[in-house]
Amino acid sequence: MKLNDFNFNLPEGLIATRPVVPRSASRLLVAQAGEIIDGHCLDLPDWLRPGDRLVLNDTKVIPARLRGGRYRQGPEGATRAAIEVTLLSPTTNGDWSALIKPLKKIRDGEEIWFSDDFRARFVSRHDGQARLSFNLQAEAFDAALAQYGLMPLPPYIASKRPADAQDNIDYQTVFAQTSGAVAAPTASLHFDDGLFARLSDLGVSFSYVTLHVGAGTFLPVQVEDVATHKMHAEWGRVSATAAAEIAATKAAGGRIIPVGTTALRLIETAARSGEITSWEGPTDIFIYPGFAFQVCDGLMTNFHLPKSTLMMLVSALMGQAQIKTIYAHAIDQNYRFFSYGDASLLFPVKKLPV
């Protein structure tokens, strides 16, 4: 398989820069039994059945983007260079891995000031990433991040407009619980309390898992042979309770439908043995055509970038030809794409035993 097998032409105007309000009013493309039906996320109960289980990622996005400055004394006096920091993940000793723009403007040991009482020392750099040591820790760090940080909007939105206070609400799920992500599990942004209530009344159940989505989710695939691509690792956890709920639903004949590719990747990681069990740790599972799914029976997800690993994942689930048909339909019908865009509900056609 070549990278170009997962390419398509997307009109610039279909990239959503703000979500639909209310959340559940977003459009929903349903692909089932070889058919494509247009609807809305409000219609989700029409496509699910009593006994189905939705698996949701309860990660919470941190305001991981910081704007500050590096100060340096020279012959002509003090100079300042504007520095933008995007936090990636904490290290074991309390430092942070981060992306810095521009990285060349800062030297090891220098400090980046975000306010008079909030700053970070540049420790080192490796493979284009920085290691930072902050002057605040624990609750004080969280409070400063909440005050000075911005939501880390994806590049295709950030290039069109800056993050603002509304993104603190829009780019967070209504059930976000466990802080640590620097990107939202965007398929879950379509859910609100009213939709949850209607699904619960129908007899649909919910399980929550945690996968801290990293900025690597937006990195382009650099290899032509997709099978040689190496995924970035992200920390996740499937609790014993969630694993037991999913196993019980499968045993009872219900369908397991992850909401978002992050939830799907995590439960498939936890089920590599053929049965889902509790699991915790970093996962770099790469799902592309030929992957043998152990748990999921469908997927609710947004529309993804061309040539991305997420396009490869949905192609693995639905088949490359069907995904091409689905995306051509979505573009023709002006569905909104990417993180703040519309959603799809994908049910693969089951192959009959030979």
Quick one: which of 92, 87, 147, 85 has its CA closest to 110?
Answer: 85
Are 206 and 261 members of one domain?
yes
* Pair (205, 295) in one structural domain: yes
At how many degrees (to 10) do helices 320-332 and 309-318 cross? 110
Q: How far apart are CA 214 and CA 86, in angstroms?
A: 11
Burial class (CB in 10 A: 0-12, 13-18, 19+), 196: middle
By C-alpha distance, which of 186, 230, 213, 228 is closest to 337? 186
- The residue among 97, 352, 134 whose CA lies nearest residue 234 is 97
CA dihedral 271→273→278→284, nearest 10 degrees, is: -60
Check whether residue 18 and residue 77 sit in a common domain.
no
Q: Is the residue at 352 inside a domain?
A: no
The mean predicted confidence, pLDDT, of the chain is 94
Domains in the chain, number: 2
Residue-number span of the structural domain to which 265 is assigned:
3-62+168-346
On whether residue 263 sits in a domain, the answer given is yes
Comparing C-alpha atoms, which of 73, 37, 57 is closest to residue 235? Answer: 57
pTM equals 0.92
Decide if 351 is inside a domain: no
Query: Could you give the C-alpha distances from 238 to 80, 116, 279, 281, in angstroms and in order?
Result: 46, 40, 5, 9
Query: 318: which residues sit within 8 A by CB, 6+ positions away?
Result: 31, 326, 346, 348
Q: pLDDT tens across 28-45, in order?
A: 999 999 899 999 999 999
Q: Are residues 191 and 317 in the same domain?
A: yes
Q: Does one domain contain both 316 and 229?
A: yes
> In this structure, what CATH number is given to the domain that contains residue 20?
3.40.1780.10
Q: From CA 291, how far away is CA 299, in angstroms rounded?
A: 15
Q: Is residue 155 part of a domain?
A: no
Residues 177, 60: contact at Cβ < 8 Å?
Answer: yes
Within this chain, do residues 111 and 197 fall inside the same structural domain, yes or no? no
pLDDT tens string, the chain, 354 residues long: the values are 899 999 999 999 999 999 999 999 999 999 999 899 999 999 999 999 999 999 999 999 999 999 999 999 888 888 899 999 999 888 888 899 999 999 988 999 999 999 999 999 999 998 888 999 999 999 999 999 999 999 999 989 999 999 999 999 999 999 999 999 999 999 999 999 999 999 999 999 999 999 999 877 777 898 999 999 989 889 999 999 999 999 999 999 999 999 999 999 999 999 999 999 999 999 999 999 999 999 999 999 999 999 999 999 999 999 999 999 999 999 999 999 999 999 999 999 875 444
Same domain, 140 and 280: no
Give tens-digit pLDDT for 88-120: 888 888 899 999 999 988 999 999 999 999 999
- In this structure, are 16 and 113 located in the same domain? no
For residue 82, give every residue at least 6 positions away whose Cβ sits within 8 Å of its Cβ, in sequence order, or none.
Answer: 67, 68, 69
Query: Which of 98, 114, 149 finishes a domain?
Result: 149
Whether residues 96 and 240 share a domain: the answer is: no
* CATH number of the domain to which 109 belongs: 2.40.10.240
Residue 14 resides in a domain: yes
Q: Is residue 269 part of a domain?
A: yes
